[in-house]
Amino acid sequence: MVFVGSRIRLGFVSSGYKDVWITFIREFNRFARKKSYSKEELIEKVEIIQEKVKILEAEVLKKIDTFGRTKKYSEAKHNFTALSTSLGQLHVDFDGIKTFSDKDIIKRK
């Protein structure tokens, strides 16, 4: 299970980011709790989660652009850039999950 985080801090990025992040975490937690998926179910769930990741990444990139090149926000810009990179990697990781074959899908007990 993943913690959502402070809604006030999430709202710092944007209200859209906060809403999508909360939805993303809920979907991810539901995804993680189910014991097994068929390949079709897995791909469908991963695509739903990836859609949220794309939205989150776009919101973070917008926020980075608002900081401009001022030194005042350099640390925040650095943190948002790292967040953007992590979201991009998460998207790639989910692409990897979608390429599993049926025999690669592990059923948890």
Rounded CA-CA distance 100/86 in Å is 22
Look at residue 31 and tell me whether its pLDDT is greater than 80.
Answer: no
Helix (H) and strand (E) counts for the chain? Answer: 4, 0
* Reported confidence tier of residue 91, pLDDT bands at 50, 70, 90: confident
Q: What is the pLDDT of residue 27?
A: 83
**Mean pLDDT score across all residues of the chain:** 77
